[in-house]
Amino acid sequence: MEEGSKHVTGGITAPAGFRASGVACGIKKGGNKDLAVVISEDMASVAGVFTTNKVFAAPVSVSREHIKKGTAKAIVINSGNANACNGQEGLDNAVEMCKATGAELGVSGYDVLVASTGIIGVPMPMDNILMGISKAAKKADAVSGKGAAEAIMTTDTYAKEAAVEFDLNGRKVRIGGMAKGAGMINPEMATMIAVITTDARVEPVMLRDLLKEAVETTFNCITVDGDMSTNDTVFIMANGASGVKIGETGKTKRMFAEALKHLTNDLAEEMVKDGEGASKFIQIIVDGARDHKEAKSVGLKVANSLLVKCALFGEDANWGRILAAVGSSGADVDQRNIDVYIADEAVFKKGSGTAFCRDKVEELMKGKEIDIRVELNKGKGKARILTTDLTYEYVKINAHYRT
């Protein structure tokens, strides 16, 4: 994406000084991996972004506390149980997961962050989890990022990981990441969870700002069904093992920010591509808005419109539904100034439909990827939203899943 950062293999264990593992400890039926640890050799700077849902899970509550001091040694994540809506017992269990992980590493529970994903409202099987933590901590090594990525999956159909590398004054810096699920695409399997690691040295406050900035235009610009999870969590750990300090010059900060966006964008795209029941990958570009916020609200409204999603599934160039969604977004728009493009063809210009070739556009819509562009022609605000279509398969998965 940006010059200067290129893909490398290894996911979260691509950067120096990180160990990870994923193990099966019986939270999930069927013996799939369900517990991951990510460990930094040295104490790392950490930052996090969490769900804004007022109904949030116990691990979100605990990690929000632990992350305040800006440093941590490890992250522990389980899948198969979200530890959400479990009252005080849920909070106690989340704390215990941190303590047990810390004990394995000789640090306090406060030096550990925790996340959970899976079913809501079911007590955590703590015997299994404590056994899993012990096993995972012992097994963790510098090449098992993939195993950790597998262990955080719920209904994802494949593990999502990525890593990038860039040069700064002759030294290499790496950023790795893993992720699961987009928004609440997953039935009851609340959660998007992502963990990012880097061997750059970044102060906690700057790390938080850089993470927020990267999340805003990537993870926060994807949607599958508009539902917001109780467990959404993105963590970043920066351990400095590369010897490169970010922020000493504007260039280091800019290059790191670009590489981080490159990585979070990769993971965000993978999450949408693996969206539940999705048959299409949809990119909605909104341009000419007052600002990014307005552009984003318009794009999300179009992306979450059931009628638009159904039309995309049906490969119908139904621009009326796009316009109706734009108009109901709350943005101050004037239909006489709006242009709409589907697959680069102008279908609506300044108040009226154009004489576009429907056959040509609908042929283009048969591809796996469809671009929609909405030009509001009023300002310079811009946003890019990634989403999916709405299919029979989505309804099937989400209707026939049993709690």
> Three-class SS string for 101-116?
HHHHHCCCHHHEEEEE
| Whether residue 13 lies in the annotated active site | no
Range in contact with a second copy (rule: CB under 8 A) among 16-24, 32-40, 262-270, 324-332: 324-332
Given 2, 41, 43, 53, the residue binding a second copy (CB under 8 A): 53
- Which residues in 241-300 contact a second copy (CB under 8 A)? none
CA end-to-end distance (rounded Å), the chain: 41
SS3 of residue 328 by DSSP: coil
Min dist CB 55 to a second copy, Å, is 3
- Between the alpha carbon of residue 394 and those of residues 89, 300, 355, 400, the distances in Å are 33, 19, 34, 10
Nearer to a second copy, 4 or 226 (CB): 226
Which phi-psi region, left, alpha or beta, contains residue 83 (left: φ > 0; alpha: ψ -120 to 50)? left
Min dist CB 366 to a second copy, Å, is 14
Min dist CB 120 to a second copy, Å, is 3
Tokens of 236: 């970043």
Q: Is 357 in the site for a second copy (CB under 8 A)?
A: no
Kindly name the residue from 51, 191, 197, 252 that is annotated as catalytic.
Answer: 191
Residue partners of 329: CB distance under 8 A and separation at least 6 = 297, 298, 300, 301, 302
The site string for a second copy over 95-134 (x = CB under 8 A, - otherwise) reads: ------------------------xxx-------------
**DSSP one-letter code for 305:** -
Tokens of 162: 């990525």
- Which residues in 76-95 contact a second copy (CB under 8 A)? 82, 84-88
Q: Is 364 in the site for a second copy (CB under 8 A)?
A: no
Given 311, 342, 343, 383, the residue binding a second copy (CB under 8 A): 311
Closest Cα partner for 247 from 209, 196, 197? Answer: 209
Nearer to a second copy, 243 or 353 (CB): 353
Closest Cα partner for 239 from 12, 4, 10? Answer: 12
Count of residues interacting with a second copy (CB under 8 A): 68
User: Cα-atom radius of gyration of the chain, to the nearest Å?
Assistant: 22
Given 162, 333, 365, 385, the residue binding a second copy (CB under 8 A): 333
Given 50, 110, 235, 394, the residue binding a second copy (CB under 8 A): 394
To the nearest 10°, report the CA torsion of 215, 216, 222, 226: 110
Min dist CB 294 to a second copy, Å, is 12
Question: How far is it, in rounded angstroms, from Cα 387 to Cα 182?
Answer: 10
Q: Is 319 in the site for a second copy (CB under 8 A)?
A: yes
Min dist CB 359 to a second copy, Å, is 12
Q: Is 235 in the site for a second copy (CB under 8 A)?
A: no
| DSSP β-bridge partners for residue 195 | 178, 235
Token pair 């795209």 in the structure block, residue: 269
Min dist CB 125 to a second copy, Å, is 16
Active site residues per annotation: 191
Residue numbers of the site for a second copy (CB under 8 A)?
52-56, 82, 84-88, 119-121, 184, 187-188, 190, 225-230, 304-307, 310-311, 313-314, 316-321, 323-328, 331-336, 338, 348, 351-353, 358, 390-392, 394-396, 398-403
